[in-house]
Amino acid sequence: MKRFAMKDYGEAKDVLIEIEAEPRPVDDTHVRVELTAFAINPYDVALRQGAMRDFRTLKFPYVLGNDGAGVVTEVGKEVSHVKVGDEVIVHAVGGTYGEEVVVPGKKIVKKPASMSWEAAAGAVTPWLTTYNLVTHLLGDTIGDTVMVQGASGAVGSLLVQYLKEQGKTVLASASKRNETLVRQLGADQFVAYDEVDAGEAFADQADTVIDATKGGRAGEAGMQIMKAGGNFVALNNLPSEQKKAGNYFSFGPSKDYSDFEALTALTELADKIQLTIAEVLPFELRSVVEGHELLEGHPSAGKIIIKKAD
Ligand SMILES: NC(=O)c1ccc[n+]([C@@H]2O[C@H](COP(=O)([O-])OP(=O)(O)OC[C@H]3O[C@@H](n4cnc5c(N)ncnc54)[C@H](OP(=O)(O)O)[C@@H]3O)[C@@H](O)[C@H]2O)c1
């Protein structure tokens, strides 16, 4: 079984390799999925670069990948919501960079027929983040006006759409080149952070600010945009100096969140929510290297997906 692994920390072209792996056994609670597509996330790039090595120890060769979609080929006795042949969406702790993955049954849901393989694989982590942040971290405290920084990104674009589904007023920032995209997703107001100071443009207007960028200076603007006493949520680092009174949260995955619940919500909204796909690359090692290299720069909006030929 072909898988794409990292043999060490380092540059994509130096450490990503193709390996032939033995299939893992499937116990009563697990499911085997033959993957049709998997997504590359910024988190994979950070893991490969070694940025997480103080918190998470990897044993090499390590197969990256949390997000995928494919067809069920084996089902444990205690799993009843899917059967062999079903098309499914998969969230794994690791290992979706390859031809198959074995995951707990509670981490897969059936893929709606109307959802493309690319959208199914690409939406997993961005959607789990969006859903858990809005529904569980903030819940009723979110308020009526929400600012999304990084609204053109995978997480940001789903946040804009999910918040609009819930009737919120959404303020958004991204680069000028992505203004049309973000407005089309439903943002009520948009500021291009590379032309205008978003902090000044939207000062004191949002009940909740979500920094869905890759970090950098967005935090300063975000604090300016948050109403005093509001919520500020960061997907990466919180601002080092919290200059305004408010509730500051650093969002991260939690055992308290149910993948099954969140992914089921995704399937229910599948026809209403769109995911931008930047690249669909062939199921080969050079595609995985290319995907990682693209994410290291400032790529076009949208997910990078590796997909088997039809
Ligand atoms: N904590 C968690 O559980 C969790 C979960 C998922 C993701 N993340 C992290 O969250 C970040 C976003 O993930 P993603 O998959 O959505 O990445 P992505 O698709 O690459 O999106 C990044 C976004 O940041 C925007 N951006 C960059 N600099 C900005 C600035 N100064 N002001 C406003 N926007 C700016 C980009 O906009 P333009 O391209 O338009 O410039 C783009 O919208 C990544 O660092 C990822 O690792 C964390």
Q: What is the pLDDT of residues 45-66, one digit of tens each?
A: 999 999 999 988 899 999 999 9
Number of H helices, E strands in the chain: 9, 15
Instruction: Return the C-alpha torsion angle 64, 65, 66, 68, nearest 10.
Output: -150
- Is the pLDDT at 131 greater than 90? The verdict is yes
Taking CA 97 as the corner, what is the angle to CA 269 and CA 38, rounded to the nearest 5 degrees?
25
User: Confidence class of residue 299 from pLDDT cuts 50, 70 and 90?
Assistant: confident
DSSP-assigned letter for residue 176? G
Distance 155 CA to ligand 1 centre (A): 7
Cβ 132 under 6 angstroms from ligand 1? no
Domain extents in the chain:
2-124+257-307, 126-250
Asked if the peptide bond before residue 104 counts as cis, ω within 30 degrees of 0, the response is no
Mean pLDDT across the chain, nearest whole number? 96
**pLDDT of residue 243 exceeding 90:** no
- β pairing state of 145-149 and 169-174: parallel
**Ligand 1 contacts CB of residue 149 (under 6 A):** yes
pLDDT for 55 equals: 87
Structure tokens at 9: 């920390």
Question: Looking at residues 177-184, what average pLDDT do you find?
Answer: 98
Closest CA relative to residue 225, chosen from 212, 244, 239, 241 = 244
The model's confidence at residue 217, banded by pLDDT at 50, 70 and 90, is confident
Give the whole-number percent of the chain exceeding pLDDT 90: 94
Which DSSP letter does residue 161 get? H
- For the chain, the C-alpha Rg in angstroms (whole number) is 19
Contacts of 118 (CB under 8 A, 6+ apart): 37, 275, 277, 280, 303, 305, 307
Could you say which architecture CATH assigns to the domain 126-250?
3-Layer(aba) Sandwich (3.40)
- Closest-CA residue, ligand 1 atom 4, reads 235
pLDDT tens for residues 90-126? 999 999 999 999 999 999 999 999 999 999 999 999 9
pTM over the 0.85 mark:
yes
Mutate to test the pocket of ligand 1, among 130, 175, 254 (most ligand atoms within 8 A of CB): 175
Q: How far is CA 293 from the centre of its chain?
A: 18
Note the pLDDT of residue 240.
87
- DSSP letters for 221-243: HHHHHEEEEEEEEESSPPPSS--
Whole-angstrom CA distances from 61 to 1, 16, 151, 298 are: 15, 9, 35, 28
For 223-232, letters b (16+ CB in 10 Å) and e give bbbbbeebbb
Q: Which residues contact 286 (CB under 8 A, 6 or more apart)?
A: none
The verdict on the CB of residue 175 being under 6 Å from ligand 1 is yes
Level-2 CATH architecture, domain 2-124+257-307: Alpha-Beta Complex (3.90)
What's the chain's length in residues? 310
